Amino acid sequence: MPWVGAKGFASDTLETALSCYTPEGGRGSIRRLLEIRDIGAGCCPWWQCLFKREIVIVTSPDVVDTTSKLIGLDSQSHVSNIGVADYIEGLVAPAATRLERIEYVDRVGVRKVSLVAQFGEGGGGLALSAHMDTVPGLGWCGDPFKAKIVGDRLYGLGACDMKGPLAATLVAAFSYACRGVEKPLVLLLSADEETDTEGAIRIAQESKILANVHPEFCIIAEPTDLRVANAHKAAITFSATTEGRAAHSSTGQGINANISMIPFIHEMWGLYKELTGNEDHWDTHFEPPYPDWNIVIDNFGTAPNVTVPKSQCTVNFRYTPRLDPEPIIRRVEESANANGVDLTYWSSGDPLYTPEDSPLVQLALELAGEHEPVSVPYRTDACIFASTFPCVVFGAGSHRQAHNVDEWVSVAQLHRSVQFYEDAIARVCS
């Protein structure tokens, strides 16, 4: 239901009168939060309360409207997310106690921004984590940046991953000031989660808010179909390149970079068969249970009558908490050295595993009405944050809907996720 919250009143009478103001309206109506600020001196204490304070009305956004607006702001990982960051900053600034903009230039020279917002004072409390970037919007029949609702489905680029869950955290944050809470709430809003997690790394390394508050728990708002996930995979991305010389293939004067790449690719294929076929590498808590070993080959648009001047093989390796990645890394390095391939790689961080009997997992299961947690096959910013505080993953939508043409999220699940985050805030921060 819509509500109005009031804080800082000396008069119980005035506080009661304002807190009872409840606008009519159902789903999608505007909720308001009242913030009281001193504006001058008065006479007797009661009249001072009535006349020396200014009532500032801060509108609490609706999750569907906010999701739609976020979808309309292009934040594909290869472009700057400054537009989305500016919109979010303007939205939460009236209710936040402190805000940080952590700006950086990504590995290809694009300006990015991560945001950290603190609500309330003190230490401990809860963190909600979400990311602002999306995968590229390729292959859409309609405009991927124009939100569309059909029945219970809200369509648009990033609707499921991650504009919808991101909007849910923003809406839930506004409930904080309406509650009699004692501990702070922190929003951790990153860039580049879909690529190299640099935005979360910058938050962990540079945020003064995070260092000062040090939340007790963190909920990662990624799509889990409203299930509580206490474990997920991490990723290592290998990039191998070979160089050749371009020439018309009929002349015999070129050097085809693929020829020296082929032995390396063959050995990567061998690793694929081993990792997906040998159950010693599996973890049955996950679906699928085997590691992801995704091989991508790129000749950079070379025509078939031209010898390839540059060949690149990229392998994305997702592994579970029980699998030690170091032997796999060594085998890839040995193959690259033996075949004269230039190799670089980066890691997203560690897999997530928060024990089922931990207080955070038990609380999340209680709030979600679930009996046991699940494991999810993707990675999140918990790869970075879980070394600082316990994390679980919970959000609207499914990873099976994410990264797809005509991506969508359930409107009903968006509203239910807001309620979950609000309940978590009330329990952890009170």
Digit-coded pLDDT (tens) for 3-29: 333 333 333 333 333 333 333 333 333
Strand partners, 347: 236
Domain limit, last residue, from 321, 347, 373: 347
Cis ω on the peptide bond leading into residue 377 (within 30° of 0)? Answer: no
Neighbouring CB atoms inside 10 A of 48's CB total 16
Domain limit, last residue, from 16, 37, 60: 60
One-letter amino acid for residue 288 of the chain:
P
Q: How far apart are CA 365 and CA 229, in angstroms?
A: 9
Give the CATH number, domain containing residue 226: 3.40.630.10
pLDDT of amino acid 43: 44
What value does the mean pLDDT take over residues 384-399?
97
Q: Are residues 329 and 372 in the same domain?
A: no
pLDDT of amino acid 430: 87
Q: Are residues 265 and 124 in the same domain?
A: no
pLDDT band at 178 (very low <50, low <70, confident <90, very high): low
pLDDT band at 47 (very low <50, low <70, confident <90, very high): very low
Q: Are residues 270 and 417 in the same domain?
A: no
**How distant, in Å, are the alpha carbons of 22, 85, 265, 337 from that of 1?**
8, 28, 58, 63
Q: Are residues 112 and 144 in the same domain?
A: yes
Q: How far apart are CA 23 and CA 30, in angstroms?
A: 8
pLDDT band at 180 (very low <50, low <70, confident <90, very high): low
What value does the mean pLDDT take over residues 211-228?
98
Question: What does DSSP say about strands 352-353 and 229-232: parallel, antiparallel, or unpaired?
Answer: antiparallel
**By percentage, how much of the chain surpasses pLDDT 70?**
85
Q: How far apart are CA 49 and CA 6, in angstroms?
A: 13
Q: Are residues 187 and 82 in the same domain?
A: yes
What value does the mean pLDDT take over residues 325-348?
97
pLDDT of amino acid 38: 44
Mean pLDDT of the chain: 88
Q: Are residues 220 and 147 in the same domain?
A: yes
Q: Are residues 316 and 177 in the same domain?
A: no
pLDDT of amino acid 2: 32
Q: Are residues 30 and 162 in the same domain?
A: no
pLDDT of amino acid 340: 96
Q: Are residues 137 and 75 in the same domain?
A: yes
Residue 73 has which token pair? 């702001």
Q: Are residues 188 and 293 in the same domain?
A: no
Digit-coded pLDDT (tens) for 195-208: 999 999 999 999 99
Domain limit, last residue, from 347, 372, 400: 347
Digit-coded pLDDT (tens) for 108-145: 999 999 999 999 999 999 999 999 999 999 999 999 99
Neighbouring CB atoms inside 10 A of 387's CB total 11
Give the CATH number, domain containing residue 280: 3.30.70.360
62 burial (CB, 10 Å; 0-12 / 13-18 / 19+) is buried
Handedness of CA 388, 287, 332, 380 (dihedral sign): negative
Q: How far apart are CA 124 and CA 135, in angstroms?
A: 33
One-letter amino acid for residue 138 of the chain:
L
Digit-coded pLDDT (tens) for 49-99: 444 444 545 567 899 999 999 999 999 999 999 999 999 999 999 889 999
Above 60 in pLDDT, residue 342? yes
The pTM assigned to this predicted structure is: 0.84
Digit-coded pLDDT (tens) for 233-277: 999 999 999 999 999 999 999 999 999 999 999 999 999 999 999
pLDDT of amino acid 59: 63
Write the DSSP string, 310-339: EEEEEEEEEE-TTS--HHHHHHHHHHHHHT
**How distant, in Å, are the alpha carbons of 15, 232, 327, 366 from that of 386?**
40, 11, 24, 21
Q: How far apart are CA 5 and CA 255, in angstroms?
A: 71
31: containing domain = 1-60
Q: How far apart are CA 309 and CA 254, in angstroms?
A: 8
Count of structural domains within the chain: 3
What value does the mean pLDDT take over residues 219-240?
97
Q: Are residues 78 and 215 in the same domain?
A: yes
Q: Are residues 54 and 103 in the same domain?
A: no
pLDDT of amino acid 14: 35
